[in-house]
Structure formats: C-alpha cells, structure tokens
Amino acid sequence: MNLRAITVTTLALLMLAQPLAAQVNSWGELSPEQQQVLAPMAGHWEGLRPGQRQRLVEAANQWPEMDEQQRSRLMARMERFAQMPPEERGRLRERARHYETLSPEAREAVRERWQRFESLPPEEQQRLRREWQERMQSGHEGRRGQRRGEGL
C-alpha cells in the first residue's frame, strides 16, 4: 500500500471511526491552533456529532506532522464539506452512519475501491465524480447504492 493510499485511508477513517472517550463539546474548547486548522468547519461545528468533532480535533493535532500534500487534502475536504448544501451534508452524514454499520470485510472492500479510485488519473476521477453527482441528483445511487440495501 503506498503512502498516499495510507494517508487518504487514515483521514477517511478519522472522519468515520467510532467516537473516542475524550470529546470536545464546543468550538471555544479548542486551542487557537486547532481553531486555525479547523476554521473551515467553524460554522458547522455545533451541528457535528461529538465523535466527528473528536476526529477533526485529532486531525488538527496531527497537522504539524503532516506533509504539504496531506495538509492540502485535509483542508480541501473540510472546505468541500463546509460549502455543501445542507441536504448534501445530510446525505454524507447518512453514508458515514451506514459505513459504521458495515462488517469489517465490507469496510475493507470500500477502502480497496477507494484506493483503486485514488490510483486513477485525475481526468478519470473527475469523470467518475461527474457521473456520480448526476446519479445522486437524479435520486439513483447506482448498482451498489444504499437505496437498494446492498453494501458499499
């Protein structure tokens, strides 16, 4: 597994992992450094579940050790989330909840598919994203979508 795949998987799992014991309850509890890193999420902080907040705090704590590519990826993800319409954020949260219910084998299959996607050329990734967005807008999630009750 290459470093990029490990990094992407780690960040994805940070967003989806089970909540940890220590939880951050409010934006004001964050250090100034954490607030700076997590600034794109400030307007959405109160709407996040405690586990999501904790995972973001952990990512902010890892910020000093991240290379520039990892930092850029994290910032881009937070900015995309912050700019999503509320309905789309809700769908994303629902998919995250669904992911949490998957068996370890199904989660591994999701991670493998994500790694295959990440290994595609950027143009192919864009094409697949456009197709996925079109399916989402038309109310269809594809052959493996949640609407059909199948695993991801």
CA atoms within 13 A on the CB side of 55: 17
Contact 126, 118 (CB under 8 A): no
DSSP-derived letter for residue 43 is: G
User: In which band, very low, low, confident or very high, does the pLDDT at 127 lie, cut at 50, 70 and 90?
Assistant: very high
- Residue whose C-alpha is closest to residue 79's, from 41, 107, 123: 41
Say what the pLDDT of residue 152 is.
41
Q: How many helices (H) and strands (E) does the chain have?
A: 7, 0
3-state secondary structure of 58: helix
Q: Indicate if the pLDDT at residue 16 is higher than 70.
A: no
Residue 57: count other Cβ atoms within 10 Å of its Cβ.
Answer: 21
Give the mean model confidence (pLDDT) for residues 43-62: 89
Instruction: Tell me the torsion sign for CA atoms 48, 52, 57, 63.
Output: negative
Say what the pLDDT of residue 148 is.
42
Q: Indicate if the pLDDT at residue 145 is higher than 50.
A: no
Q: How far apart are CA 152 and CA 35, in angstroms?
A: 33
Q: Indicate if the pLDDT at residue 73 is higher than 70.
A: yes
Q: How far apart are CA 118 and CA 97, in angstroms?
A: 22
Say what the pLDDT of residue 67 is.
93
H-state helical runs in 20-121: 32-37, 50-62, 68-83, 86-101, 104-118
Q: Indicate if the pLDDT at residue 58 is higher than 60.
A: yes
User: In which band, very low, low, confident or very high, does the pLDDT at 39 lie, cut at 50, 70 and 90?
Assistant: very high
Give the mean model confidence (pLDDT) for residues 13-17: 56
Q: Indicate if the pLDDT at residue 62 is higher than 90.
A: yes
